[in-house]
Structure 1
């Protein structure tokens, strides 16, 4: 009886434990991914306005768990720690915001801002992170699977 109670107590504790907090890196990559997805939908000439409005309401949090998993699978612990220090810092968030404006026709980054961002973008770890979380990656499949139920609701709202 004691072993049974012990196993139940241990499994309950493990089950009740909350998952680790989402990393700043996963939050940043999720935000970038969802924002890029929204930009893509907005630029589609025959996009249905109701669907676009629905998609605009999709939060980045819809893909943070998927991004966290992709990052864990793609980067070593040291690389994850390096990216976490960067994306948890005000400077990292500022530089990501500048990078996100690359190619933005409404609020483009200046040449000086882009020059400031280039060393970070060209770093091997950052390149690896972007490759893992971009639309052309396997990570995109995981993120899209996370968004799919929300997209189905947007399509059903027509």
Structure 2
């Protein structure tokens, strides 16, 4: 669960939150906002804020090994916040958990400074100096067979 939460914090899937619009005029801390004003948040700015997350650009699941580990909405903004949090957040969190569990079950991940960065490295990573030199290999032939079998099953499904 810590890896799930860190993944959602470290690279939010929405760079900006879903905007909300005021239905009526509002005043907040001395600022006046007319009806129709839209508010949103910058998910990346919040996720990578060094005041909130020490070494924020580093993937570090250990930061979530605390009393809030099993509180899926604490520590990131991926599903919004407050009264308007995504009603399907449990489905999202569980799907990310299953994906990470499958990856960890089937593959070994090893940091390797000599392993080349390939065309799948995102422009964001190339820009901010955070490319990950990691070698990913299947754990065994049995794992390769499992991946091929399950992939073929999914690809043959009709949607």
Give TM-score scaled by structure 1 length: 0.22
Give TM-score scaled by structure 2 length: 0.22
Q: Which has the higher strand share?
A: 2
Identify which of structures 1 and 2 has the higher relative contact order when contacts are C-alpha pairs closer than 8 Å and 6+ apart: 1
Q: Which has the higher helix share?
A: 1
